[in-house]
Structure formats: structure tokens, C-alpha cells
Amino acid sequence: MLAKLLADAVLLLHFAFVLFAIFGGLFALNRKWVVWLHLPAVGWSALVNLAGWVCPLTPLENYFRAVAGQAGYADGFVDHYIAPLVYPDAMPRQLQLAAAVSIIVWNILVYALVVWRRR
């Protein structure tokens, strides 16, 4: 029971991290200190997507699922949970690269707004 709860907690943390990487820059509009947390999150998200790496939270979730007697998954978090909503067959590598570039471009726009508002 505890292992299932921990697996679900890691899943929620992972999802929250993805949302923070995408939208966290908006918090920097009102709180300067968020930049120091958000920029590394953006960098990590982009790097994982560009390099085709698996985030360490994925094996951690799979470990807790295995301990709980549940099936894990071999692909990454985005491929397993998010991509099937958009691409039911599979998430092509080009889309992973587009996701990485989109995260970077979106956040450049957000931080341009942050800098503009601070002036």
C-alpha cells in the first residue's frame, strides 16, 4: 500500500514538474526568486527531450510500482502519460524535439515579458 502511494506521489511530482517547466516563468512576473528554480527546470526539461534521456523520476516511479506489484513502463513519462492523449499510436522523435524547442521558445517569450515588466 505504501509503495503504491509513493509511486502515485512520484507521478504527481513528475506531472507538477512538467507543468512548472512550462508555466513556472509566469510566477516570475511577481516573484523574482522563482527564476532561480524555474530556469534550471526549463533547462533540464529541454535537455531530457533533446537528448532522449529518461528523467530519474520515471525509474523511481517504476520501482515503487514494481514493489507494489503493479506494472511499470519502459518509455518515458511524457511518452507514457501525455503522448497517448495527443498521438495514440506513438510519439515520434520529431515531436520530442519540437517539445524541447517549444519549452525553450515559450520561456524566452515569458522571460522577455518578465524583463519588460521589471523595466
**Which residues lie below 8 Å from residue 83, measured CB to CB, with a gap of 6+?**
90, 91, 95
pLDDT score for 91 = 59
pLDDT score for 28 = 87
pLDDT score for 25 = 92
Total domain count for the chain?
1
Hey, what's the torsion of the CAs at 84, 88, 94, 95, to 10 degrees? -40
Coil, strand, or helix at residue 91?
A: coil
Which mean pLDDT values do the consecutive 10-residue runs of the chain (119 residues) have? 93 91 90 93 88 89 92 76 61 74 90 88
Q: What's the pLDDT tens digit per position in 89-116?
A: 665 677 777 878 888 899 999 999 988 9
Domain carrying residue 8: 2-118
**Hey, what amino acid is at 21?**
A
Coil, strand, or helix at residue 18?
A: helix
**Which residues lie below 8 Å from residue 92, measured CB to CB, with a gap of 6+?**
none
